[in-house]
Structure 1
């Protein structure tokens, strides 16, 4: 568990750092909100394209080798940021993000189900929430790191850029893009070191059970021969993951620019990035609390309650202004905390031999982080950032439904 926790920390850190890349690269390359959201589109699009190949690799190589390969791939993606910055090429940056995310996808496919089966089944949600809390520690620290290492470099205004000739613009683009080179080289070194450590570490070999131990042997309550897609709670859970990740990523992606707005807080980008840590820090605190609560409260009920509270906070952020709107969005992190691991464990509950395939489907659904922010970006370009948060409101309404009714499986519900 300690070894696996380090992986959750790293992919939380690297994923949250995208929220820093968005305002930085948007300013450097003068992008629209939709164009800036291509950062999340390429990063989370890798989950759609690579989840099934990753699931196949984990089945063939095993958890340990799959984790080592994932770390090595993520490290390679980080190294590609160096030539991308050197060429001041936005498409190159997007390609590097895809490679990086492919490695993270492989880590997710291997580590999430491993944690879920590494102990008593009835405590799977609690256990995964505990490891996800360290994922949130990574997402909390990344904005501080990014605000100092990347956003602290002054970016010229659009008026200043218009006065520059093409040669000066090209030189300026290279110098600004290069701000990401050293930070991502450092991250590449960390990924490769983790790969070496885990390659030398002896992880216990755990197989998913053929069927839940508390179900009858006659197969009446568990369809052992059916396709993994036959499990309604898994399919609905995949949609829940799609919408949750999309909503969470969309909120985090727009928070810095949202807090920049004069009628909200009027903060500079580096100051706003530090406030962003409160959003992810709330998720970390909430996961420690949720890990304890989920041992006493049914996961579905707690999931529905949190989703309802988030929908209310989003409504406040849309309709209010000033500090009230800002703090309403920042508070969402606390209630987001238990959602991903809870939806995940409810969705794979009772899949038995289909657990690996189910995990691949759920990780594929993380592509919501690619689609939903682009939709929100389109609305932000046309009706403003504030009203674009109507998109995540709809996402959380569905999550509340899944917590109340959608997660019930064909067999005895948890």
Structure 2
């Protein structure tokens, strides 16, 4: 079970502020899939199934490396792992910038895998650390606020990517966008190096167990399934959103304008919802809010699948608001209810992200064969299962 610090110090507050910065950079870099998928379709003449590899490959890499990352956190420590994460993300951004003009789609995927390696390290170390720094009763709200800064990065990233990558020269736009991201990530790394003394060595000091210890916890398994469903649904919807809004029978927006609408409403809704959620989670039970948002997301996905025009378009965009509290709530609920060590549970939850690749693959197949609107039926099922996770009661299903 995770170790929390009931009396946060000034150093704790500085460390939390740096973690909010890290989550902002994570959102900025990780948000590029939305505009990148249509850009790659244009550059390399890909169908949806092929282009969605840019999204699901990242999930597979994150899942494959999560457990090794948890072991590395035990031997290296949180601070060094976070610095390595930011360095890899910057290197991967530079690699994408060069690969976009190479003419080889595989080279872009390889560069994205480098970025995914960095994001894995950041998530494995950052999520449990953010919950551990500060008062235990505010861990849900603290992680939701961190995810709010992540959404702020996503909002800026999708807007930047849509403006630069969806213009006349997509390849040049990709190169410029990822060059900018590399510079910003290196700036974040510099701030971490300057503020390293703020990170306490004892926040996760009792975490000496191997990640495999989480395999004995039923709550860890349930949380892992819910995380996989969430990341798959949110990422897949974000990846097809621009093309969906571009369709004449939906909103008929130009690609760049559709990208900006996706940034402002879909990802902007997640941003607003996460900051609001950090407040709501201090006043209402986390499982109840999670179940409500998952049920609403189901209704919106169904609306997209059976209607057309502005109703379908704005229903799709509104799903972002429903996504807002899902990741931090699932993560913190699982940590609280599982008896396994926090580092082991965190490793399993991040490994489970790979399962979201299945959602992305199914959405790509549905988009190619039945249409983009019908592809929303796949996330509908995912959100329904998340609502089931929220409905599980510790009294009926004991902690373990």
Give me the TM-score of the superposition, normalised by structure 1: 0.87
**How far has the Cα of 1:276 moved from its partner?**
0.4
Aligned to 1:74: 89
> What is the distance in 1 between the residues matched to 2:97 and 2:375?
34
1:229 to 215, 218, 241: 215
Quickly say closer, same or farther: Cα 1:88–1:125, change in 2 above 3 A. same
* Cα-to-partner distance string for 1:375-409 (whole Å, 9 max, x where unaligned): 11011111111111110000001100111116666
Taking structure 1 as reference, are residues 28 and 331 closer, same or farther at Cα in structure 2, changes over 3 Å only? same
| Cα distance in 2 for residues equivalent to 1:253 and 1:147 | 12
1:146 aligns with 2:161: yes
Tell whether 2:265 aligns with 1:265.
no
2:385 maps to 398
> CA distance change for structure 1 residues 353 and 210 in 2, over 3 Å: closer, same or farther?
farther
Partner residue of 2:227 out of 241, 263, 273: 241
What is the root-mean-square deviation in Å for CA atoms of aligned residues?
A: 2.0
Q: Aligned residue for 1:276? A: 262
- CA distance in 2 between counterparts of 1:291 and 1:407 reads 23
Contact 2:304–2:373 (CA under 8 A) maintained in structure 1:
yes
Cα deviation, residue 191, structure 1: 1.8
**2:202 matches 1:206:** yes
1:370 & 1:411 partners in 2: Cα distance?
A: 29
Q: How does 1:175-186 map to 2 (within 5 A)?
A: 176-186=170-180
Q: Which residue of 2 aligns with 1:312?
A: 299
Secondary structure of residue in 2 paired with 1:191: helix
Once residues 240 and 320 of structure 1 are traced to their aligned partners in structure 2, the CA distance between those partners, rounded to angstroms, is 28
CA distance in 2, matches of 1:81, 1:62: 29
Q: Counterparts of 1:374 and 1:229 in 2: how far apart (Å)?
A: 26
Aligned equivalents of 2:19, 2:348: Cα separation in 1: 21
Asked if the contact 2:165/2:172 (under 8 Å) is kept, the reply is no
Q: Which runs of 5+ in 2 are unaligned?
A: 1-15
Conservation of the 8 A alpha-carbon contact between 1:346 and 1:407? no
Corresponding residue number in structure 1 for 2:398: 410
Q: Deviations over 1:330-363 (max 9, x none)?
A: 1111111000000000111154661101101101
Residue in structure 2 matched with residue 337 of structure 1 by the alignment: 324
Contact persistence 1:116–1:125 (CA under 8 A): yes
2-structure distance, mates of 1:406, 1:32: 43
Aligned position for 2:133: 118
Structure 1 runs, 4 residues or longer, greater than 3 Å off: 206-211, 350-353, 406-409
| Structure 1: distance between partners of 2:205 and 2:289 | 27
User: 1:14 matched to which residue of 2?
Assistant: 29
Q: Give the 3-state SS of the residue equivalent to 1:349 in structure 2.
A: helix
SS in 1 for 2:373: helix
Picking from 24, 48, 51, the partner of 2:66 is 51
Identify which range, 398-407 or 262-271, moves more after superposition: 398-407
Check whether the contact 2:303–2:312 (CA below 8 A) recurs between aligned residues: yes
Paired position in structure 2 for 1:286: 273
**Aligned-pair CA distance for 1:177:** 2.0
Aligned-residue offset at 1:197: 2.1
Q: What is residue 41 of structure 2 aligned with on the other side? A: 26
- Most deviating of 144-153 and 29-38: 144-153
